[in-house]
Amino acid sequence: MSLSLLIAVTETTILNLICLAALIGNLSLYIIVYKNKDLQTITNLYILNLAAADIMVSVVSIPFTVVTVIQGRWLFGDTACVALGFFTILSFIASVMSLGMIAINRYFYVVKWNTYKKTFSKKKSFLYAAAVWLVSISLASPPLFGWAEYRVIPGKSYCFVYWPSNVYFMYFMITVCFFGPLSAIAFSYYNILTFTRNVKRRIAISRQKNLAPPPQLETPLAENETALNSSLPDSKLGHDEAERPQINRQSHCKLDLKWKSEVFQLTPEETKMTNTIVLVVALFVICWAPFAITMFFDMYYSRPLPRAVDMGSLLLGYLNSMCNPILYGLRNSAFKLGFQDLYSRFLPKRYRPTQVTTPEASRGNDVITSLSSVFCRFV
């Protein structure tokens, strides 16, 4: 009895801590983005989509699990079990779909920059975010109509899909809801890495050999200016060339440089954001992989798994919901300042951090200066 009580207290304590941290952290992301207009970007829209799925876990799934652990049995009836199972798997599917959408967005932002604004216009971006939830709802619905079923899983003290009820549904979910988005994520980040390496190599070669950038890097601005000059009479053109001061060339260079720096997104802060999202994906896989492995054991292992294994895999999956805000706060300077602004007021004045210029911003200026020396040398 004392051992069982100790286990129950430990499990409920961990669950409550995860629930509280996930709820506060993910709600804080919404507040920070709302207060800072610079953070109201398309990428952060999908990050908030992911946060919504994590909030659903902390509001719906974890509290029912806590009560079931305390009571040692399911108290809420079959209808509530079906509803909880639906919302639990919905949050999981929405999470992995949101990660896939974030990766695709970064792919277009970095690699397909020339079509990014058209593909991810404000209206389309909101439609994509809504589509993530519509697809997730559709994929979570089959057990409601007889393809597999939602049932209490005793070892995990919650309701979820009972995989032995239909093996084909299990493989369908693994293929479509797990490996499908992860394949899109792997494709996107592989191409982002390849693209950025190629761009940096071209810049290094241009700097070393004092060569102009490759033709494909020329801006539409330069092409339009050439076309305009060719349409002018020879006398007028010669007069303009004679009279045009050097400052025009410098102005053209600044516009050209601004375009290139926005296209390539080579600033350390942008690179760190991409790396942060890669870490978020890796953390998601690490946290949920043990849970997925237990699915196969439930299907093909004749005896129930030890409760420590079942409950441990569930706790690790729940833990993922509180990790994402921590990662953004540690690695993104804007989110970090947002968290400090929200919660530093609860600290004594001596411990409150002072707002200083972030090193990422200064390093970003160094990158732009470096690009300037390369691309403006021949203007």
Cα dihedral 126, 320, 180, 171 in deg (nearest 10): -130
Of 252, 176, 185, the residue nearest 220 (C-alpha): 252
Within 165-244, where are the H helices?
167-173, 180-209, 220-230, 234-243
Q: Which residue has the higher pLDDT, 214 or 71?
A: 71
At 53, list the tokens: 């799925």
DSSP state of 151: E
Element (H, E) at 344: none
Q: Can you tell me the distance from the alpha carbon of 10 to that of 273, in angstroms, rounded to the nearest whole number?
A: 36
- Which pLDDT value is given to residue 374? 40
Predicted local distance difference test score (pLDDT) of residue 216: 52
More confident residue, 43 or 347: 43
Q: Could you give the CA distance from residue 317 to residue 311 in angstroms, rounded to a whole number?
A: 10
pLDDT, position 127: 95
Half-sphere exposure at residue 260, Cβ-oriented, CA atoms within 13 angstroms: 26
Residue 370 or 23, more confident: 23
Q: What is the dihedral of CA 111, 115, 120, 123, to 10 degrees?
A: 180
Task: Measure CA 64 to chain center.
Answer: 28
Residue 346, CA distances (Å) to 223, 271, 338 in order: 56, 32, 14
Q: What's the whole-number mean pLDDT along residues 242-262?
A: 43
Integer Cα distance of 185 and 107 in angstroms = 9
Q: What is the pLDDT of residue 215?
A: 53
- CA 131 to chain CA centroid, Å, is 16
- Asked whether residue 29 carries a pLDDT value surpassing 80, the answer given is yes
- Which position has the higher pLDDT, 377 or 76? 76
- pLDDT of res. 57: 92
The answer to whether position 301 is within a domain reads yes
User: What is the number of domains present in the chain?
Assistant: 1
- Whole-structure pTM value: 0.75
pLDDT given for residue 59 in this prediction: 92
**What are the tens digits of pLDDT across the range 304-320?**
788 888 888 889 989 99
| Token digits of residue 178 | 């797990």
State the average pLDDT over residues 32-59: 91
Identify the pLDDT of residue 233.
45
The C-alpha atoms of residue 251 and residue 305 are separated, in whole angstroms, by: 69
pLDDT in the model for residue 187:
92
* 167 in any annotated domain: yes
Percentage with pLDDT > 90 across the chain: 27
353 in any annotated domain: yes
Q: What pLDDT is attached to residue 236?
A: 40
Residue range of the domain that includes 6:
2-200+261-372
DSSP state letter for 165: G
Query: 350 Cβ partners below 8 Å, 6+ apart?
Result: none
The enclosing domain of 150 has a CATH number of: 1.20.1070.10
- DSSP conformational letter for 160: E
Residue 355 pLDDT exceeds 60:
no
Assess whether pLDDT exceeds 60 at residue 73. yes
The pLDDT-based confidence of 17 (bands split at 50, 70, 90) is very high
Q: What is the mean pLDDT of the chain?
A: 78
Residues 80-100: tens digit of each pLDDT? 999 999 999 999 999 999 999
Q: Report residue 314: phi and psi, to 5°.
A: -70, -45
- Does residue 172 sit within a domain? yes
pLDDT of residue 217: 46
Q: Is residue 168 part of a domain?
A: yes
Q: How is residue 178 annotated by DSSP? A: I
Whole-angstrom Cα distance, residue 88 to residue 93?
9
> Mean pLDDT: which of 106-120, 131-145, 229-243, 307-321 is highest?
131-145
Bigger pLDDT: 61 or 264?
61
The per-residue pLDDT for range 200-219, each reduced to its tens digit, is 787 777 777 765 555 554 44
What average pLDDT does the segment 336-351 reach? Answer: 79
DSSP 62-93: HHHHHHHHHHSS--SHHHHHHHHHHHHHHHHH
Residue 125 has pLDDT above 60, yes or no: yes
- The residue to which tokens 């994509």 are assigned: 128
Task: Please report the pLDDT score of residue 238 as a whole number.
Answer: 42
In a domain? residue 339? yes
Token pair recorded at residue 68: 């079931």
Question: In the structure, what pLDDT confidence band is assigned to residue 178 with cuts at 50, 70 and 90?
Answer: confident
Per the CB < 8 A criterion, the answer to whether 255 and 224 are in contact is no
Residue 247 has pLDDT above 80, yes or no: no
Q: Rounded CA gap, 116 and 126, in Å?
A: 15
| CB 319, CB 289: distance < 8 Å | no
| CB within 8 Å of 75: residues ≥ 6 apart | 67, 68
Task: Give the residue carrying structure tokens 């079959």.
Answer: 78
Residue 48: pLDDT band (50, 70, 90) is very high
N-terminal to C-terminal alpha carbon distance within the chain:
81
pLDDT attached to residue 271: 73
* 248 part of a folded domain: no
Cβ-contact 74, 26 below 8 angstroms:
no
Confidence of residue 269 (pLDDT cuts 50, 70, 90): low
Q: Rounded distance, CA 225 to CA 219, Å?
A: 10
Instruction: Determine, yes or no, domain membership for 321.
Output: yes
- The region of weakest confidence among 147-156, 160-169, 186-195, 260-269 is 260-269
